[in-house]
Amino acid sequence: MSDTKADILITNAHIFTSDESNPRAEAVAVRGNRIIFVGANRSAKNFCDSNTRVIDELGHTLTAGFIDTHVHLLSGATWMGYADLREVHARGDARTVLRDFADKHPSDEWIIGWRSEYNIVSSRHELDEIIADRPLYVRAADAHTAWANTKALEMAGLLHNGNGSGLPDGVVLDEMGYPSGELREARAMRMVLDIIPTPVEARIREQLKLAIQGFNKTGITSIHNMNGDMNDLMVYAAAEDAGELNLRAYVPYSVKPETREEELQEAAEMAKVQMDYVRGGMTKFFMDGVWESYTAFNIEPYADDPTVRVDPIFSPEHFIRMASLCDKMGLQIAVHCCGDGAVKQTLDGYEAIQQINGTRDSRHRIEHVEVCQPEDMPRFKQLGVIASIQPSHASLRLDEYKIGRDRLGEKRWHLWQPWRDLKNAGAHLSLGSDWTVVPYDPMTHLHVALNREKLSPTGTDQRLTLEECILGYTRDAAYVEFQEFEKGKVREGYLADLILFSHDLFELKPEDIMTAKPVITIFDGRIVFEEE
Among 434, 468, 476, 497, binds Zn ion (CB under 5 A): 434
Cis amide prior to 436 (ω within 30 degrees): yes
Q: Which is nearer to Zn ion, 327 or 434 (CB)?
A: 434
Tell which residue, 357, 370, 494, has the closest CA to residue 30: 494
| 481 touches Zn ion (CB under 5 A) | no
Within a 10 A sphere around the Cβ of 122, how many other Cβ atoms?
Answer: 16
Q: Which is nearer to Zn ion, 254 or 395 (CB)?
A: 254
| 476 touches Zn ion (CB under 5 A) | no
Stretch of 116-124, 218-226, 357-365, 505-513 lying at the interface with Zn ion (CB under 5 A)? 218-226
- Asked whether 83 and 136 are in contact (CB, 8 A), the reply is no
**Residue 504 CB, nearest approach to Zn ion (Å):** 33
CB neighbour list of residue 155: distance below 8 Å, 6 or more residues apart: 135, 192, 195
Which stretches of 377-447 are assigned E, i.e. beta strand?
Answer: 386-389, 428-431
**Residue 493 CB, nearest approach to Zn ion (Å):** 33
Stretch of 338-346, 347-355, 426-434, 467-475 lying at the interface with Zn ion (CB under 5 A)? 426-434
- Asked whether 317 and 350 are in contact (CB, 8 A), the reply is no
Q: Which is nearer to Zn ion, 324 or 392 (CB)?
A: 392
CB neighbour list of residue 445: distance below 8 Å, 6 or more residues apart: 390, 391, 392, 431, 432, 433, 469
114, containing H or E segment: strand 111-116
| 441 touches Zn ion (CB under 5 A) | no
CB neighbour list of residue 141: distance below 8 Å, 6 or more residues apart: 86, 114, 115, 116, 117, 436, 437
360 — phi, psi (to 5°)?
Answer: -145, 175
Q: Which is nearer to Zn ion, 55 or 208 (CB)?
A: 208
**Residue 185 CB, nearest approach to Zn ion (Å):** 13
What is the per-residue binding string for Zn ion in 222-251, x denoting contact by CB under 5 A? Answer: ----x-------------------------
Cα 37 to Cα 523: distance, rounded to the nearest angstrom: 16
**Residue 430 CB, nearest approach to Zn ion (Å):** 14
**Residue 207 CB, nearest approach to Zn ion (Å):** 19
Size of the site for Zn ion (CB under 5 A): 2
Stretch of 229-237, 265-273, 391-399, 427-435 lying at the interface with Zn ion (CB under 5 A)? 427-435
**Residue 123 CB, nearest approach to Zn ion (Å):** 26
Q: Which is nearer to Zn ion, 436 or 483 (CB)?
A: 436
Binding site for Zn ion (CB under 5 A): 226, 434
